[in-house]
Structure 1
Amino acid sequence: MNLALKDIRHGLFRFILTCFGLGLLMTVVLAMIGIYNGLVSDALAVVKAPAVDMWVVESGTQGPFAEASSIPADTRDAVARMPGVAEAGAINYQTVEATHGGKTLRLYVIGYETGRPGGPLRIAEGRAIGTSHFELVADRKTGLTPGDTIRLGRNRFTVVGLVEGAMNSGGDPAVFMTLSDAMGLQTELSPADQRVQAARGANPVKSASVAAIIVRVKPGADVDLLTATLRQWKHLSALTQADQETILLASVVDKARRQIGLFLGILLSVSAVVIALIIYTMTMEKLKQIATLKLIGAPDRTIIGLIVQQALLLGMSGWGIGLALILLVKDNFPRRVVLEPFNAMVLAGIIVVVCLAASALGVRAAMKVDPATALGS
């Protein structure tokens, strides 16, 4: 007969309620782990999306994600002619707001040259951009579907395809359009502004520029040598893909990442204390029953098994409930929640260690119980 299961059946409702409460706590812990992973994943998504080896940006800047970068679009031709360069493409980034279906969407617009690096590598639904104007590919998080039209600036764009996981570091979903459309959106003025600029004798059109030139190198080419050569051009700077990712994590999302990480550490500590208190309280409530077991000659290993098994059942039940709940609701979070199997396994290991440590406190109290306590009132 398993005493741990027998005792759980005796107070089944209370045990289930405790497991559910612990499961809710584990849901919050797993959510914070997923939000932390999602923050890092979203921050790197746009950087990794072009699958390039090098970024050419404005001199003295850290690239288009850490600070503003503006270079002439025709820089791409000069970069493309350099030895070791396989492909080069101009790319532009900007954030816009648009209204669709009665809701305001905040979109991260990526303008790229079709047939060159910078566009979406995989279309999840629909097709890629096929014309030079007024088509776009959107991330699913925008809520747009193929065939929808949306007004950006003074033009209407038709959604022809969908991608997944294209976000900026702020969690805004991305839309891809041709570079010419993106530069038009960047430089256009409203009719009233055009009239004011014309009356002043100024150019009624903003100057057009791109954020970066992205480069794929030939097999065997020395990326470090190529970036060093480009840095000798006084008006340009160059960063490898690894440099760009490091800068993004070290500057753009560093504070948010550390804050979420600190909160996650606090939450794990609180969870450990709560689990320990629950298990210790459960043990203290059974001291008279433990004294009875001692009185009838039950060996110490039976009492230790009772406490440890209940602690592990409680902890793993809470973990299972928490994992099931977060998997059900994670897609409803405003920001992406990325939960890897490794994260769930690490949390399970932490819970096992905490349960064993907490049960050790209970075992210590149980071993001190006088069997004569069972004869008291």
Structure 2
Amino acid sequence: MNLALRDIRHNLGRFLMTCLGLGLLLAIVLSMLGIYRGLIAEALTLARSPAVDLWVVETNTRGPFAEASRLPGDTREAVARVAGVTAAGAVTFQSVETETAAGKLRVYVIGSEPGRPGGPANLIDGRPIVQSRYEAIVDRSAGLTVGERLKLGRREFTVVGVTAGQVSSGGDPVVFITLRDSQKLQFELAPPAARRELARGGGEASSDIVNAIVARVSPDVPVATVADGVRRWKHLAVLTQEEQETVLSRSVIERARRQIGLFTTLLLIVSTVIIALIIHTLTIDKTREIATLKLIGAPDRTIVGLILQQALAMGAIGFAAGLGLLLALKDSFPRRVVVDPPDVIALATVVVVICLVASTLGVRLALKVDPATALAG
């Protein structure tokens, strides 16, 4: 006869409600882990999308994501001529807030050269950009479809394609336009400002500026060798793909990582305290039953097993409920939530440890119960 199972059946309603409450708490813990993984995934999306080996940026910067970076547009030709480089493309990055039929929309605009590295990937609808002006490819999270119009700055663009999973580190949907359009959007002065600059004798500022040069390297040439060559002969800062991902995952979202980690730790501590209090309360309710077991000669291991089994059952049911709830609702979050199996397994292990630690309070109480309590009135 399993005493833990019989006791759970005797107080099934209260036990299930307790498991549900614990499941909600563990769902929040899992969501914190999923949000953190989602932040990393979103931060690395832009760096991995072009499938390049090198990021060439302004000297003494770690741009274009961690710091501002500005380069002359013709830098692409200089990088493309470096030995080992098979393809190079100029790109720009900027955040833009615009108006759509659904209201305000904040997007992350990437300018690239069609046919060169840096353009859109994962096209799920429409076609690539074929005209040199006023065409755009948007991520589906923007809520726009092929054929709609999108105003960026003073100009309107026609949506010709839709991508999936292309968002910035801030979660904003990405919009791809041609490099020429993006340069005018980012660097061209408004007419009044341009006239004022001319009146001051400053001349017309050039808009042939880019934020970075991305390059692919031949598989037969070490990437580090090409990067050293660009630094030595072109006097530019260069980040390899691995270095760029490190900058994004460590520097750009470092504060968010610490905050989520602290919040998750606090939730786990709260979970431990709650489980300990629940087990303690359940043990107090069974004081007479435990005393009766001792009176009839039941060994201590039977009583300890009763409490441990209930604690582990509570943790298992609560964890399963929390995981199921998160999987059902994760697509409703405004930011990407990534549920990785290693994280689920790690948290399940932590929950088991928490249940074992939290049950010690109930075990100590049970072992102190006087068998004579069973004979009390």
TM-score normalised by L of structure 2: 0.93
CA drift of 1:195 comes to 4.3
- State how far apart, in whole Å, the 2-side matches of 1:246 and 1:318 are: 36
Q: Which moved more, 1:226-235 or 1:187-196?
A: 187-196
Confirm or deny: 8 A CA contact 2:87 2:117 kept in the other structure: yes
CA drift of 1:198 comes to 4.8
**Secondary structure of 1:171's match?**
coil
Is residue 304 of structure 2 the alignment partner of residue 304 of structure 1?
Answer: yes
Is residue 237 of structure 2 the alignment partner of residue 253 of structure 1?
Answer: no
1:27-64 superposed Cα distances (whole Å, 9 cap, x missing partner):
11111111111222222221121111111111111121
CA drift of 1:84 comes to 0.6
| Equivalence for 2:148 | 148
Is residue 234 of structure 2 the alignment partner of residue 229 of structure 1?
Answer: no
- State how far apart, in whole Å, the 2-side matches of 1:337 and 1:203 are: 49
1:247-295 superposed Cα distances (whole Å, 9 cap, x missing partner):
2333322222222222222222222222222222212221111112222
**Secondary structure of 1:128's match?**
coil
- State how far apart, in whole Å, the 1-side matches of 2:148 and 2:31 are: 33
- State how far apart, in whole Å, the 2-side matches of 1:355 and 1:250 are: 33
Is residue 156 of structure 2 the alignment partner of residue 159 of structure 1?
Answer: no
CA drift of 1:100 comes to 0.8
| Equivalence for 1:72 | 72
Is residue 340 of structure 2 the alignment partner of residue 340 of structure 1?
Answer: yes
Confirm or deny: 8 A CA contact 1:58 1:235 kept in the other structure: no
| Equivalence for 1:168 | 168
**Secondary structure of 1:88's match?**
strand
Distance 1:147 1:2, change over 3 A: farther
- State how far apart, in whole Å, the 2-side matches of 1:315 and 1:162 are: 44
Distance 1:271 1:74, change over 3 A: same
- State how far apart, in whole Å, the 1-side matches of 2:31 and 2:266 are: 14
Confirm or deny: 8 A CA contact 1:186 1:208 kept in the other structure: no
Q: How does 1:255-334 map to 2 (within 5 A)?
A: 255-334=255-334
| Equivalence for 1:39 | 39
Aligned residues: 377
Confirm or deny: 8 A CA contact 1:189 1:206 kept in the other structure: no
CA drift of 1:16 comes to 1.6
Distance 1:305 1:189, change over 3 A: same
Amino acid at match of 2:364: R
| Equivalence for 1:18 | 18
CA drift of 1:200 comes to 4.5
**Secondary structure of 1:168's match?**
coil
TM-score normalised by L of structure 1: 0.93
Q: How does 1:92-171 map to 2 (within 5 A)?
A: 92-171=92-171
Amino acid at match of 1:43: A
1:46-88 superposed Cα distances (whole Å, 9 cap, x missing partner):
1121111111111111121111111111111121121111111
Amino acid at match of 1:252: V
| Equivalence for 1:184 | 184
1:156-205 superposed Cα distances (whole Å, 9 cap, x missing partner):
22223322332222222211111122112113343443444455455456
Amino acid at match of 1:137: I
Confirm or deny: 8 A CA contact 1:40 1:257 kept in the other structure: no
Q: Which moved more, 1:65-74 or 1:129-138?
A: 129-138
Percent identity over the alignment is 56
CA drift of 1:234 comes to 5.7
Distance 1:234 1:131, change over 3 A: closer
CA RMSD across the alignment = 2.0
Q: Which moved more, 1:191-200 or 1:158-167?
A: 191-200
- State how far apart, in whole Å, the 1-side matches of 2:268 and 2:220 are: 46
| Equivalence for 2:359 | 359
**Secondary structure of 1:227's match?**
helix
**Post-superposition, which runs of at least 4 consecutive aligned residues in structure 1 deviate over 6 A?**
none
CA drift of 1:214 comes to 0.5
| Equivalence for 2:375 | 375
| Equivalence for 1:219 | 219
Confirm or deny: 8 A CA contact 2:188 2:207 kept in the other structure: no
- State how far apart, in whole Å, the 1-side matches of 2:329 and 2:314 are: 23
- State how far apart, in whole Å, the 2-side matches of 1:11 and 1:346 are: 30
Q: Which moved more, 1:163-172 or 1:337-346?
A: 163-172
**Secondary structure of 1:176's match?**
strand
Q: Which moved more, 1:135-144 or 1:292-301?
A: 292-301
CA drift of 1:301 comes to 3.7
- State how far apart, in whole Å, the 2-side matches of 1:21 and 1:192 are: 61
Confirm or deny: 8 A CA contact 2:75 2:213 kept in the other structure: yes
Structure 2 gap segments, 5+ residues each:
none
Q: Which moved more, 1:34-43 or 1:158-167?
A: 158-167
Amino acid at match of 2:375: L
Q: How does 1:197-208 map to 2 (within 5 A)?
A: 197-200=197-200, 202-203=202-203, 207-208=207-208
CA drift of 1:5 comes to 2.2
Confirm or deny: 8 A CA contact 1:189 1:204 kept in the other structure: no
1:188-245 superposed Cα distances (whole Å, 9 cap, x missing partner):
3434434444554554565330011101101121211211111124642212111222
